[in-house]
Amino acid sequence: MTLNIAVLVSGRGSNLQSIIDNIENGYIKDAAIRVVVSDKEDAYALERARNHGINAEFVDPSAFSDKDQYESRILEILDGYDVELLLLAGYMRLLGGGIVRHFKNRIINIHPALLPSFKGLHAQKQALEHGVKVAGCTVHFVDEDMDSGPIILQKCVPVLDDDTEDSLAERILREEHRIYPEAVKLYAEGRLDIKGRIVSIS
């Protein structure tokens, strides 16, 4: 059986590309991205999807009277593709409870910090301002709070004395491109078990 995946995006989609590449090269087996959905019409991630023959859809939040209606439309799209796993790849909106409950323990996100530290936007800037010596990235399941769901994988990177927000972000991004496909592979293989806040890998 092939695992049907959807990806929500807002920007350039480099993490989306890393997952596409790892499906195409056979590292992630028995999985396929069925649709990529963006809240930004000009998101380059949509172009990446089309370049690989993946359905790409723009849903304009401003066309709906409220967040619930907007997310109901997204759910319609996802259900239309029989989506089983929902990935967030640079999606810049906090998911509402409707989607989170519909896909309970079936939504995965990547965040450019070692959670639970430095949640939300500008995580690299937060890390530098706090003077941490180690930063990194986290792949986690999504719950109804921001960047707070059970942690699947993490990777550390050193913080250098001359780091800027951009240089640190670039170094973290290289690790994101490694651990996000790895987490998807583990999910596709049925090797992730969630008990409370703890994710065990078999």
Tokens standing for residue 111? 């965040």
The whole-angstrom separation of Cα 14 and Cα 200 is 27
Run of H or E residues at 154 = strand 151-158
**In the block, residue with structure tokens 């991004």:** 173
The values of phi and psi at residue 177, to 5°, are -65, -15
Give the closest residue to 192 by CA, choosing from 114, 146, 140. Answer: 140
Catalytic entry in 52, 102, 111, 122: 111
Annotated active-site residue 122? The verdict is: no
Task: Assign 3-state DSSP to the chain and report helix, strand, coil percentages, each to 5.
Answer: 35, 25, 35
In the 8-state DSSP scheme, what is residue 95?
A: P
Give the closest residue to 77 by CA, choosing from 101, 93, 58. Answer: 58
State how far Cα 31 lies from the chain centre. Answer: 16
Catalytic residues: 111
